[in-house]
Amino acid sequence: MDDRTDLTQGSIMGKLLRFFFPILFGMLFQQLYNTVDAIVVGRCVGPEALAAVGGSPAVLTNLVIGFFSGLGAGATVIISQYRGAREDEQLSRAVHTIVCFCILCGLALTALGWFSAEWSLRLVKTPEDILASSAEYLRLFYLGSTGLLLFNIGSGILRSVGDSRWPLLFLGVCCMLNIGLDLLFVAVFAWGVAGVAWATVLSLTVSALLVLLHLSRAKGPWRLRWRQLRIYPGSLRRILMLGVPSAVQGSMYNLSNIIIQAAVNRFGTAVVAAWTATGKFDGIFWVTTNAIGAALCTFVGQCYGAGKLDRLREGVRKWLLFGLLVSFSISAFILGFGRWAMRLFADDAEVLDYAVEMLWYFAPYYFVWIFIEIFSNALRGAGDSLTPMVISLLGVCLLRVLWVLLVVPRWNTIRTVSISYPVTWAVTALVLAVYYKRGRWLQHGGDLPAKT
């Protein structure tokens, strides 16, 4: 195994950090072009367009993305375990199965999303003054569904075998392309919301082509051979066994966010715009924690496949401390520069006041989420994706929905809506920590039982 992509030996923190930073920079690139979308449309068109791009359409697309990202997570866990166990033939079958599956799902999603766009927006009570532009953006976004799925799974395949540099390069190219097209379509051609959508679709398509081309030229067992592109039933079964719980979890997170978005929408366009701006800014934290979790999941998968459980546990402990340090730093940065940064999205005083207020309901409590990210990804890396799903469904999703249904009507303010997040984080983190400590998750590896 190539030492550069082998996480089962060498310095734990050294290997994890070298693997983590390319993932982080790649996700920051992705967050950057999402943020530029919001800045360009907010500054060049107005608060209504900002709400149309980043309000209800964002949570609806995240619902779909979360589901398929969860399925992809099942594939990448399996691939990382096969990589650690040196099961090259099984690894190759898993790669071809998930790529073929993503193509079929992407095409179906495009058709479904196109025809259900306006209905789904009405379902979450999107304000009438932005309904038409939100539907236009959502329909066009769904055109890029196949590209989005293929890029995410292709990058996941590369990261699962220990290569996080090429996905960073591809995403960097596409980020620059997206920014350039945003400026061209919105600032120059004045296409408004449609311009942002077309820029996103074209960028996703290019990113998918780049990662597929790289996989087709790879020199390892993860090489993509077009003639072998098919669904292998055994591989698909294992992918679904691990991926469906993660997919359901991702969908439920986003479904609860849709319910939250519906509650936010009732406060009017100014609050929706502020909620959007806040989400873009504190996205710095979320992409960082996603990168922390992705790095750990691959590390655990490879160590579990190789039977190195002591190294696995030590890595989880060290990575938890690293994550806490990162979360405190980001919280301080966001709280210190929040109002200044919000001016990138809007000049409206009412929107700015709401946005800064919202930041103080989230940012001080980011450290709690680190426990969820670390423990849930450690469990998934070892093949136990069902337990994090159940705990998250009860601790985050169900509790958050109950909060909106029972607490928000009694104290109907944006503050009441916002604090549902740190409350549900704390409950979920506590339960996950207790389950992880008991160690039963090490018995859920399926076809790859860990060695002693």
Q: List average pLDDT for each run of 10 residues in the chain, which is 452 residues long.
A: 68 89 78 69 71 70 73 78 84 92 90 88 80 86 88 86 83 85 86 86 90 91 90 88 77 75 78 78 83 89 86 93 95 83 72 82 91 92 83 85 85 83 92 86 50 32
From residue 78, give the alpha-carbon distance in Å to each of 2, 53, 98, 275, 333.
19, 35, 11, 37, 37
The whole-angstrom separation of Cα 43 and Cα 86 is 52
H-type alpha helices, 183-282:
193-216, 233-265, 269-281
Q: Please tell me the predicted confidence (pLDDT) of residue 4.
A: 59
Taking the domains of the chain in order of start, what are their residue ranges?
3-443
3-state SS, residue 225: coil
Q: What angle do CA 240, 244, 247 make, to 5 degrees?
A: 135
Q: Please tell me the predicted confidence (pLDDT) of residue 219.
A: 85
Q: Please tell me the predicted confidence (pLDDT) of residue 287.
A: 84
CB 393 within 8 A of CB 255: no
Task: Name every residue whose Cβ is closer than 8 Å to that of residue 72 and which is 6 or more positions away in sequence.
Answer: 98, 102, 149, 152, 153, 156, 243
CB 115: neighbour CB atoms within 10 A?
10
Q: Please tell me the predicted confidence (pLDDT) of residue 13.
A: 92
The whole-angstrom separation of Cα 169 and Cα 426 is 36
Place of tokens 């596409």: 174
Instruction: Please provide the size of the chain in residues.
Output: 452
3-state SS, residue 126: coil
Q: Please tell me the predicted confidence (pLDDT) of residue 450.
A: 38
Q: What is the pTM of this model?
A: 0.71
